[in-house]
Structure 1
Amino acid sequence: MSEILAEYFSALARLKAGFPERVEKSVQISKDAVSLEAGRKKGTIKKSRPIFRDLIVAIDAAAAEQSYHQRHTDQRPLLREEVAKYRELWEEALSREISLVNQLWRERREWALEKQALTGKKMSVIHSFQRQDSDVPE
């Protein structure tokens, strides 16, 4: 590999790593960007020159990878908003469920007290799970 081609590949590696020396960090990887990063003029990398065939393939692959990463990193804020929305919906549903369970326990307690008042017998409430409220008659 010639020294000039090595400079181009070195420039491409710096662009891929995100540490360019001569162009902006946010530049899109392209043949012109690699030329400028290598210290050459725009348009020096041409398809018509056989020496650049492997370099052009490497540039195209790096550009495709960069665009893939940009597409997916651009979606992160949207995905975070969606996650926050569904978390809020889940918490609201959980709150409703807890409210309904509390209402059920109050109704059971009232029913047991009412039944006890009508029959004169002490009624015990059958629990489906262990409850720690001390005001529930047993």
Structure 2
Amino acid sequence: MSAKIQTEQYFAALERLKARRAVISNDAVAMEAGKGRGSIKSSRPAHAALVAAIEEAAKAQRAFAVTADPVPGLRAEVDELTRRLDQSLEREVALLHELYDLRSRTKALGEENLRLKMGRLVPVK
């Protein structure tokens, strides 16, 4: 079989793999073309264009897989939102404690003010 026909079979196999969105590698293209693993060699001048096309398709496939899979980005966003929620809840609890302390001090000062108005002395601390 001539090298040109063989290369055309490999290119057709590459296109089929792209269409199926299967994992693209030299061995995968060779197997899809009905040849054995390792039959595509980058050292062969006839396969130079094929190897370049396979590498480009594999690179595009990896880039697409990174952009198509939103799970890692969503997980990071969920972690960030959880962290921010925990911080805001801690801040809320701290403010509630401060509010209760201020209310109790206000109540104590109001009672002391009432005693002073009535003429009763408050023991000096």
Structure 2-normalised TM-score? 0.59
Specify the structure having the higher radius of gyration (Cα). Answer: 2
Question: Aligned partners of 1:4, 1:64: CA distance in 2, in Å?
Answer: 24
Does residue 112 of structure 1 match 2:106? yes
Deviation at 1:58, TM superposition (A): 0.8
Aligned length: 109
Flag structure 2 segments of 5+ consecutive residues without an equivalent: 116-125
1:50-91 Cα deviation digits (max 9, x unpaired):
332211111122334445667896x939x83x6555544433
Q: Percent identity?
A: 29
Q: C-alpha distance in 2, partners of 1:64/1:117? A: 77
1:102: how far off? 0.9
Q: 2-side partners of 1:100 and 1:47: how far apart?
A: 66
Paired with 2:60 and 2:66, the residues of 1 have a C-alpha distance of 10
Give 5+ residue unaligned stretches, structure 1.
122-138
Q: Cα RMSD between the aligned structures? A: 3.5
What is the correspondence of 1:42-121 to structure 2 with a 5 Å cutoff? Answer: 42-66=37-61, 76=72, 80=75, 86-120=80-114
Q: Which has the higher helix share?
A: 2
TM-score of the superposed pair, with normalisation by structure 1:
0.55
Instruction: Determine the C-alpha separation between the residues in 2 that align with 1:110 and 1:98.
Output: 18
The match for 1:127 is none
